[in-house]
Structure 1
Amino acid sequence: MAELLMGIDIGTYSSKGVLCLPDGTVLAVREVEHGLSLPRPGWAEHDPEEVWWCDCATICRDLLRQAGATGREVRALAVSGIGPALLPADADGRPLRPAILYGIDTRASEEIAWLNSTYGADELYSLSGMHLTSQAVGPKLLWLRRHEPEVYARTRYVYSCSSYLVYRLTGEYVLDYHTASHFNPLFDPRRLEWSPRFAEPICDLGLLPRLAWPTEVVGVVHSRAAGETGLAEGTPVTAGTIDAVAEAISVGVVSPGDLMLMYGTTLFFILVQEALVPNPKMWVTAYALPGTYALAGGMSTTGAITRWARDNLARDLLERELAGGERAYAALSWEAESSPPGAKGLLLLPYFQGERTPIHDPEARGVLAGLTLSHTRGDIYRAIMEGTAYGVRHNVETMRQTGAQPGRLVAVGGGTKSPLWLQVVSDVTGLPQEVPELTIGASYGDAFLAGLATGVVPGIDSLRSQWVRGIRVVAPNPELASLYSEGYELYLQLYERTRDVVHALGKIAG
């Protein structure tokens, strides 16, 4: 009987799954799209049943059907998902409200301010190794307790995306160490345990799950989940993790100095480190493998802006695609290629839903500066790519300020389908990027973790020797270094000089 490995990942706008052989050979891939709820400015939510669980169950069944396999042939399953998210559930594990998503949801700004004022930002930082931001789950739990006390009173479980899927599959209540790192100020990353130090006003620590590594099997598929997914009862399931970690694993980002750039709806950075070295403008977390840490960061809206541009500025191209023509994104990229570097004097701040690292400003907003009547849609689309690239440079420069030196850069995610975007990022940062031939994404990393946890994959070395294949390098154009260095300085100035104005505009919009 075949020993197949399955990985499932839940993203912001879509979910994806893969079924593999132990050597990384892909037998089936399935992707389904879903919606994102934005009920108020600064809020972002998912329905955990209709999005998370239904996508997971559907993809499991479809993968087996595509591969002509049975559930009994799946040796192990690992899951990942957007995070950190907050989903309160009752004593029966039933969700009590829609899930509050990761850093793009900025509703807990007042709670962050209160915690900083009450305990001191430096004291909070001394425990978590990172300052409170919209990425942190602790302030969102406090928001829940303050604004929805009846929900908090009924809460017995606190899930993130992957931990909810693990619960639905196995009945086990467990969270991985990386995701737990983002539950600050409730987690001690040095001791790798929940901390009572600042917990009293936020939540009872007894509500929080037990902790494990993504490389650990934490339970097996129970009968009800087997009936819904097509998997066999008793199939091992790992602890799961955040999608960015699984994506980094999928392309071999496991050694100190390896840096992943994940081009998705948001852009996420993970730099693998041997020790926990805090950086006040980035996130410091446990990583996927025991004994490793990560210096991480995230931009709130990158691919989301290209989607916004497609849906609002290029409806003609989208209609043409729906009628069987060229993909709208490809057509937009072609238009952007006709615009010269510098986008004819346009400069974009990509803060359409606030920003996470390194400015940590939930009230930031997008700015497009330099518009004239001569500018075209292609110029605007190029400015979007260049603006997100300046954001990448800002994060990398911030990492370097505390001595962290990115070595090998690996690009992953849906955005790698755009050769222009990859080239612009390398040109702006001055850094080469490795792009593996096979970039299925987080679900591929999940499948590897499932194999590693069960011994079907013999060791971590199998990742680079078998699973990661056909790497190409996107090299920066040195002739553009001066132009983009000037643009980067203007990018930094534009934020500083427009910050107060956009904050005021955000209050008007709210």
Structure 2
Amino acid sequence: METVAGIDLGTQSIKVVLYDFNNKIIIANESCSLSIIAENDGTREQKTEWYKEALKTCFSAFKSSDLQTIKAIGVSGQQHGFVPLDKEGNALYNIKLWNDTSTAAQCSKITTILGGEQEVIKELGNLMLPGFTAPKILWLKENHPEAFAKLHYILLPHDYINFLLTNQYVMEAGDASGTALFDSKTKQWSKSTCDAIDETLYSMLPPIIESHTECGTVQKSAAEEYGIPEGIPVSSGGGDNMMGAIGTGSVADGFLTMSLGTSGTLYGYSDTPISDPQEGLSGFCSSTGGWLPLLCTMNCTVATEQIRTLFELGVKEFDALAEQSVPGANGVTVLPYFNGERSPNLPNGRASITGLTTANSSRNNICRAAMESAIYAMRGGLDSFRKLGFQPKEIRLIGGGAKSPLWRQIAADVLNLPIRIPQKAEAAALGAAVQALWCLNCKENPTITTKEASESIQTLCKTHISLDETKNTDPVLQNVKKYNEAYTQYNNLVQQLTPLYK
């Protein structure tokens, strides 16, 4: 038996899958939960030691004989997080996460230095948002100058796992494009943006490698620590959305993937750089050689989990109550900004429940409104994709929300598109495993061109990514009409409340 390992470092847990690529089955998978440091000022942080311990817990749970079948490893990671290390590889501060909104002031400073929002978009293809990495670096400089003075390695979460495994300091374009230090059009670091933060920053950034190449091989210390084979290749890896694109087969024009996790994301592959930052569509690169325009909201299952906890409900109870309501939740609307928000850019936003009357104040309506709110935000992204010329035929849905039949139907009705579910649930981990297989194949063919490599990942995805046809969900015309009205009401509410959070 031969396998590739896919590691997915998420916000709430780390997962590892072992994928038998000859028989196309996941032979084993393990996960370990992660804690989050959360403060009222928007701080959301984790610690490097938590990642090390969780990764060891996962690998230790596998049979030793299974670990020895691993031929390559791929790593997916939550995007945008800032892992600051000294020259010995020790953490200088906590990891500030993608959903940390405490850096709004730093975003404003950098934007002003660069000449305003339009100049930032021209330079990066994106706005300077609190979720991105660049303002987190300036935050460290301003709030912990002694730590910044020792800064040697600037890593994203997935790159940190790569670093633990290989001791190599590199990045690839997909995850790098979410730092707000990177020109996604030219796939190069932006010196002017770096200089706006600190004149030494540009020289500290790692080289960019091509997506189909290895970032290094497993070093002896990592092999001993995790029980994995020494010397096997570790692929370039990528952000969780980039790996989710591979894990759902969105590696060619025409497919869109939507993830209903802690955050909500909607993204699709493009052969050319595309973005519409003013409408929330970030101009990211893919981790397969192209581009991955992406909408991200900071509150998806966060909203349902908060309300489920408030009502002291289990997941099945929550869904059952929501199903007793109707499309549009009888006029109840949830604005789900529990973590502030990125799309629209409201880092100081707050959640609310509106539209309540004596006739509709019920748990049923509030639960359904929470589920609907996540999809309303995605519809705005879908409208932006269509403006840019995308003609989506279906949505491939992943994340915890994809497990809910009701949420799948709400998504189909709000977006008015068929919803399809990948056969294998862990899309990011599987995507990382398939990327590892791609890297392994390309390594065995050292003369392969970038174009040939791009074509080969499409072939691999057709071979290894399948859909669960039993979960196909199509829009219901009557519901689509009701949701068009409810979506208009939701947008009006957002516009009316936005001035409160600016």
Question: Paired residue for 1:301?
Answer: 299
Q: Give matches, 1:66-215, under 5 Å.
A: 69-102=65-98, 104-120=99-115, 121-184=117-180, 186-203=181-198, 204-215=201-212
1:142 and 1:201 in contact (8 A); partners too: no
What residue number does 2:473 align with?
Answer: 474
CA apart distance, 1:478:
0.5
- The one-character-per-residue Cα deviations of 1:247-298 (angstroms, maximum 9, x if unpaired) are 12111111112111011111112111110123133101111112x1111111
1:243 to 226, 237, 240: 240
Contact 1:431 1:475 in 2 (8 A): yes
Q: Distance in 2 between matches of 1:156 and 1:198?
A: 18
Match for 2:392 among 388, 406, 414?
406
**1:303–1:415 contact (8 Å) kept in structure 2:** yes
Q: Does the alignment pair 1:277 with 2:263? A: no
How far 1:401 sits from its partner (Å)? Answer: 2.8
Q: Is the 8 A contact 1:108 1:139 kept in 2?
A: yes
Q: SS where residue 19 of structure 1 aligns? A: strand
Contact in 1 for aligned 2:259/2:397 (Cα 8 Å):
yes
- 1:228 maps onto 2:225 in alignment: yes
In the alignment, the residues of structure 2 paired with residue 71 and residue 386 of structure 1 have an alpha-carbon distance, to the nearest angstrom, of 42
Conserved 8 A contact 1:81-1:161: yes
Task: Give the corresponding residue for 1:453.
Answer: 439
Judged with a 3 Å threshold, the aligned counterparts in structure 2 of structure 1 residues 198 and 469 are, in CA distance, closer, same or farther, namely closer
Percent identity of the aligned residues? 27
Q: How many angstroms apart in 1 are the aligned matches of 2:169 and 2:104?
A: 29
Over 3 Å counting, the alpha-carbon distance change for 1:434 and 1:379 in structure 2 is: same
Alpha-carbon contact 1:250-1:468 (below 8 Å) kept: no
Q: Distance in 2 between matches of 1:216 and 1:165?
A: 17
The residue that corresponds to 1:323 in the other structure is none
Q: Which amino acid aligns with 2:143?
A: H
Contact 2:265/2:378 (8 A) holds in 1:
no
Equivalent residue number for residue 449 of structure 2: none
- What is the correspondence of 1:28-39 to structure 2 with a 5 Å cutoff? 28-39=28-39
The one-letter amino acid paired with 1:451 is L
2:450 maps to which residue? none
Which whole-Å CA distance do the structure 2 matches of 1:469 and 1:335 have between them?
29
Match in the other structure for 1:354: 340
Aligned partner of residue 295 in structure 2, secondary structure: strand
Q: CA deviation at 1:53?
A: 2.0
Cα distance in 1 between the residues matched to 2:242 and 2:5 = 17
Letter in 2 for 1:306: T
Secondary structure, counterpart of 2:472 in structure 1: strand
- Per-residue displacement from partner, 1:454-495 (whole Å, max 9, x unpaired)? 019975313223332434421111112222111111111111
Give the structure 2 partner of residue 395 of structure 1. 381
| Cα contact 2:422–2:465 (8 A) shared by 1 | no
1:408 Cα deviation (Å)? Answer: 3.3
Superposed displacement of residue 13, structure 1: 1.0
Which deviates more, 52-61 or 155-164?
52-61
1:419: Cα distance to partner?
0.6
* Unpaired segments ≥5 residues, structure 2: 445-455
Counterpart CA distance in 1 for 2:489 and 2:465 is 41
After TM superposition, give the deviation of residue 312 of structure 1 in Å: 2.3
Residue in 1 that maps onto 2:9: 10
Q: 1:363 aligns with which of 322, 336, 348?
A: 348
Who is 1:322 aligned against?
none
Deviations 1:91-141 (A, max 9, x none): 101011110011x21112112112222222211111111111123211221
Kindly report structure 1 stretches of 4+ aligned residues shifted beyond 6 Å: none
Q: CA–CA distance in 2 between the matches of 1:81 and 1:501?
A: 34
* Residue 241 (structure 1) shift: 0.8
| Contact 1:16 1:59 (8 Å CA) reproduced | yes
Partner of 2:492: 493
Contact 2:124–2:190 (Cα < 8 Å) also in 1: no
Counterpart amino acid of 1:165? I
Aligned residue-pair number: 482
Give distance in 2, aligned partners of 1:49 and 1:213. Answer: 29
Q: Distance in 2 between matches of 1:144 and 1:405?
A: 42
**1:210 partner letter:** P
Note the residue ranges of structure 1 that are not aligned, 5 or more in a row: 318-327, 504-510
Q: How far off is 1:341 after superposition?
A: 1.8
CA distance in 1, matches of 2:49, 2:427: 23
